[in-house]
Structure 1
């Protein structure tokens, strides 16, 4: 290690699993926090079994969100295991958990239980529906909450079925909101000396990032349709097929760009047509306009369009498959892939952090840990357990 990172003095106790919580704690770990990941003995985080593909016996899904952590395997069903968590919470700045509402409180590990022991503790719960409301006891998973939160109703072909986003976007954004909230709570604690409780819900997250589409409904009262790959408020702003059969993304964001595009595409007469002269009118008359643009786009190859559109500063881009994404010169220049030594796989490639700091850079100091890889280390160094005490905990199945 040895590199100064933004959160190098912060300790995180991570009782979460799967995606939203681990994504949050990974970001904190990338910024230098010491993250202790607590897992079930024997099976560990559910995502360890979510393969193939795998590397060195570890599922790629698990690898993607668990770097920069130390793993301990502790049985929370046993009182001795719960006592280990209490002792670690005494030494932690942040606790992250995504158990069902009330589960940790029944174990004596809820916020109200730990707050008297460590008033500086920032305790973040991530659940499907939050700590209150009629759905608080319902299980919540990304796919179903994409549906409940409205995003599937606005995603997909207008004539086709509702469609989910291709990644677990609700989990990811809930993890981002959780990380933002934790950083704000750390700032508040710097001023007051007091920790606090943070309640993050997956449903809240998706409703929050409906953004302009949600605002469109709140302002107009009109339920938005699905636009496929088109934009509800900007036209033309969607993929178009080119002469060689390849699709490119064309994003004409303002009237100046529209006029430049029309000159390039041989559609200059459309700039004088009142139906298409301004973006609001293009939105109203998209059904008449898009076939005209599509016909023009089929007159040149993708490479020809991309070169000429770039020259005119009209936003555009190829629609890349992932092999092209990770070989893209810009992605490579931004160092968005990192290769990390791993005890069973030899090495693994991971997507790097997008956060670029000038003075305290993020980094990957620890590979995604094996299950219980650091149990002995944490018990010995953090809690002062002797080898004999650790051996007894293992014999009783408390730790592994």
Structure 2
């Protein structure tokens, strides 16, 4: 039996892949009971996606370990009337129902909001779509790489230069932020239910979250600004550029207040004479001579490894960061200090990535390994009142 702030909540994860299910994962971190509904046999199509990246037969399904942690698996064939009947019994007692099925599939399965909400007036129906609940593209399928990354303009703008080939997003890059939006919508609806006693429908989309992620640039366009692509290295500000260190690692300067930080940077690099150079005497001159200053900074940073610059720039109060690599996070002192990679209680030392917020006085649940397909089916069927004969008939019928 789970404990925690949401321990009295039952969440049905009737979704696939990442953005919808991950909202349920966050709820499970605070103790909600989350039942993952997936097809018998192969289960959710998100399973085994990791094999497309070359994982071997005995490798851990790292996608599934992340987004299905803490959940129970109920294997149901929702194309079958008997399978839907079991789901309806769960809906009747649930607090939250999460789905991202395309609307035509929801209609065929009787899982639209207007179908589900009458079964339980206190239910929160949480809908995740690629492009929104309305409009000519409401029935289109998509992933975050298309509806969040590509559609938002981020793919076009996040390039080294304006003529650089656009980069594809990484798996889950837009899904997990979108999951946080869906989680926020669910919790807002639960608060409304506390006031009114009534459930209702909430929704968000990958496209809406992509626009929000790129909203500073979109707002500029809405205000009539014509934004140009990024210029070549040396034409950009030297204060917001990446630089190689002697060890081969890269750091990133992010100096938004050069009036204060430019002197700190010059002294930390051991070049106080730059402060007397007429080429760099004012912000406008530093920008006009950015190519020269960039070259100076490149030479300076190449003189020492990252560990030295981390110490010097930190002591000086310069705003900077490392261009991190995936392997950096395990063992990172700052990550460890904030408990961002908790250990599975049943994972033999395996760790996972924590959801990105804390609530004072409400500890999260220690993460449990994700379930196998249908691992909890029989127990859940018994719980909703199915007799041994009914369970046998359901099992025999697939």
Among 160, 165, 169, the alignment partner of 1:161 is 165
Distance verdict in 2 for CA 1:385–1:226, change over 3 Å: farther
- Give the distance between the partners of 1:13 and 1:103, measured in 2 at CA: 17
Q: CA deviation at 1:28?
A: 0.8
Task: Return the offset for 1:220.
Answer: 4.4
Residue 248 of structure 1 is matched in structure 2 by 251
Look up the SS of the partner of 1:152 in the other structure.
Answer: helix
Q: Which residue in 1 is equivalent to 2:190?
A: 186
CA distance 1:123–1:245, shift in 2 (3 Å): same
TM-score if structure 1 supplies the norm length?
Answer: 0.88
SS for the counterpart of 1:338 is: coil
Q: Report the RMSD for the aligned CA atoms in angstroms.
A: 2.8
**Per-residue deviation, residues 81-131 of structure 1 (Å, max 9, x unmatched):** 111111111111111001112321332221111222211111111111112
- The 5 A counterparts of 1:251-400 are 251-254=254-257, 255-265=259-269, 266=271, 269-270=274-275, 277-278=282-283, 286-287=290-291, 289-340=293-344, 342=346, 348-381=350-383, 383-397=384-398
The aligned runs of 1:165-176 (5 Å cut-off) are: 165-176=169-180
Aligned residues: 391
* Residue 227 of structure 1: how far off its partner (Å): 6.2
1:87-98 mapped onto 2 (5 Å cutoff): 87-98=89-100
Q: Quote the Cα distance in structure 1 between the aligned partners of 2:25 and 2:330.
A: 21
Partners of 2:50 and 2:262 lie apart in 1 by: 46
Structure 1 pair 264–348 and aligned structure 2 pair: CA distance change class (3 A):
closer
- Cα 1:216–1:74 shift into 2, 3 Å: same
Question: Structure 1 residues 54-63 or 105-114, which shifts more?
Answer: 54-63
Q: TM-score, normalised by structure 2?
A: 0.89
List gaps (5 residues or longer) in structure 1. Answer: none
More strand by share: 1
Deviation at 1:317, TM superposition (A): 2.9
Stretch of structure 1 that moved more, 105-114 or 315-324: 315-324
Match of 1:63 in 2: 65
| In 2, Cα distance between equivalents of 1:363 and 1:350 | 13
Give the unaligned 5+ runs of structure 2.
none
Q: Secondary structure at the match of 2:366?
A: coil
Residues 359, 135 of structure 1: alpha-carbon distance in 2 compared, 3 angstrom cutoff = same
Measured in 2, the distance between the counterparts of 1:185 and 1:101 equals 22
For residues 330 and 184 of structure 2, the distance between their equivalents in structure 1, rounded to whole angstroms, comes to 27
Which residue is 1:152 aligned to? 155
Hey, what's the Cα distance between the residues in 2 that align with 1:229 and 1:389?
A: 68
Shift in alpha-carbon separation, 1:313–1:43, aligned structure 2, 3 A: same
Q: Do the aligned residues in 2 keep the contact of 1:105 with 1:111 (CA within 8 Å)? A: no
Cα pair 1:231 1:238 within 8 Å, conserved: no
Q: Secondary structure at the match of 2:343?
A: strand
